[in-house]
Amino acid sequence: MANIDKFTITSPPNTLFQGISTDYQNNLTYVEYLLGIVKKINEIVEQTNNNTQFIENYDGRINALEAEMILIRQEIADFEEQVDENFENLETELTNTINAKLAEIRDELIGLIAVYRAESKAYTDSQIAIVEEEINNILIGQITLRDPTTGLVSPLQTVIDNLYDTTREQALTASEYDALELTATAYDAYDLTAFNYDYYGKTILTA
């Protein structure tokens, strides 16, 4: 809106709308009265021009604010898009990290299982070897036991013999048999079985 031009006037000696003096020399002429009106109009024109300038400047500021709002909205939209993109990247990165960690844990577990399996197999093989050795010893008669009569670990046959001897309280020793001085004929006359001789030889032969 264009500014309004003022009227070019020469200010009257008296201001407009002052009280009328009783001195005719102080009273306004028609020309002076008209000049006072023109002066007031110029004041109105100046204020109107100021208002117009303010409005135009205000409109400019509004346009600037609207432009800034548009820029802010665009920045917010760009920020939201960046946040969404960063979130997707973070989600992808987190997923990859979790998958990599799970793969690492799986590999560690597979390694531990392999180690434990190898240790278990080695232990089982050692025990099987011990059992096989015991079986082979049984097959060839090399069985050892702790002899309850002596407290020593001895071959099975020796342990059986010692246990058997503990029940032969009436058996003859070689010296005792020699002391009988029996002939073969005399011995045959007793008609002893091997079991009776081993268990009851002393009782029968010395009766």
Residue 117 has pLDDT above 60, yes or no: yes
Specify the range with the lowest mean pLDDT, choosing from 16-30, 68-82, 84-98, 107-121. Answer: 16-30
d(CA 149, CA 165): 10
Q: How many domains does the chain have?
A: 1
- In this structure, is residue 104 part of a structural domain? no
- Summarize pLDDT for 177-206 with one digit per residue, the tens: 778 777 888 777 788 888 877 777 778 877
> What is the domain extent for residue 148?
144-205
191: in domain:
yes
Distance CA 155, CA 200 (A): 27
Whether 195 is in a domain gets the answer yes
- pLDDT score recorded for residue 26: 58
- Does residue 16 fall inside a structural domain? no
3-state secondary structure of 162: helix
pLDDT > 70? residue 25: no
State whether residue 144 is helix, strand or coil: strand
Residue range 118-132, pLDDT digits in tens: 888 899 988 888 888
Is 196 contained in some domain?
yes
- d(C-alpha 16, C-alpha 27), whole Å: 11
Q: What is the mean pLDDT of residues 140-167?
A: 81
pTM score over 0.85: no
Residue 24 lies in a domain: no
What is the number of residues in the chain? 207
Residue 127 domain flag: no
Residue-level pLDDT at 194: 80
At residue 144 the predicted structure's pLDDT band, cuts being 50, 70 and 90, is: confident
CA of 200: how far to CAs of 30, 37, 145, in Å?
183, 173, 29
pLDDT > 70: what percent of the chain? 81
Residue 165 lies in a domain: yes
